[in-house]
Amino acid sequence: MSTSTPRLLGGRYEVGELIGRGGMASVYRGRDLTLGREVAIKILKRELADDSAFRTRFRLEAQAASRMSHPTIVRVFDAGEDTETDADGTTHSVPYIVMERLHGTTLKKLLAEQGELSLDDAVSYAEDILDALAYSHEHGVIHRDIKPANVMVLDRDEEDESLGRPSRIKVMDFGIARALTETATPLTETHTIMGTARYIAPEQARGAVVDARTDLYSVGV
């Protein structure tokens, strides 16, 4: 990415301030000017965006993810590819996905702040993650990168607080790990293995074929 944040993507999505950054992408607050709604926009990092095979796979996987609709899965509204021009005139691709805007924090950050979860919260989160995976597996989608950073813990609303319910969660980034795996270059292989080695199943680390059991292993970890 250039130092200047693109203000409009696809002629439709206005990019706001940065709200999160990960190993593969940065997430911005955004607005869909066509539908007039708040969204979150995930913009891929330059080193991934420069890989044409990855861009193609990423678009296909994002489109597949957009067809999934489940209470514990982050909704993907759109995926596209824009361009930006550096100061020297060089043009670069800017792949992006547009998602529902959530209010909460990642499970990774929550664990870092709290140290550990209560038993009730741990069981509740695990059940919700498994619900998301049961749905995705029924639709032939293996996540491949289940980890605390890909689980969003939603803010409690007043009703939840009054009833003492634990916050609900949503699982993010369906399809991106597969896009990385199936367009593997030394760069993406390094990211896939080194970035999430703590949670991936042995067969995935070996580069073998994975199935639904791979995701369940990660939930267990």
The residues annotated as belonging to the active site are: 145
CA distances from 83 to 32, 52, 86, 90 (A): 18, 13, 10, 10
Report the C-alpha gap between 89 and 84 in whole angstroms. 9
State whether the Cα torsion 206-212-213-218 is positive or negative.
positive
Q: Which residue reads 């969003």 in tokens?
A: 152
Which residues contact residue 117 at a Cβ distance below 8 angstroms, ignoring those fewer than 6 apart? Answer: 110, 111, 125
CB 9 within 8 A of CB 41: yes
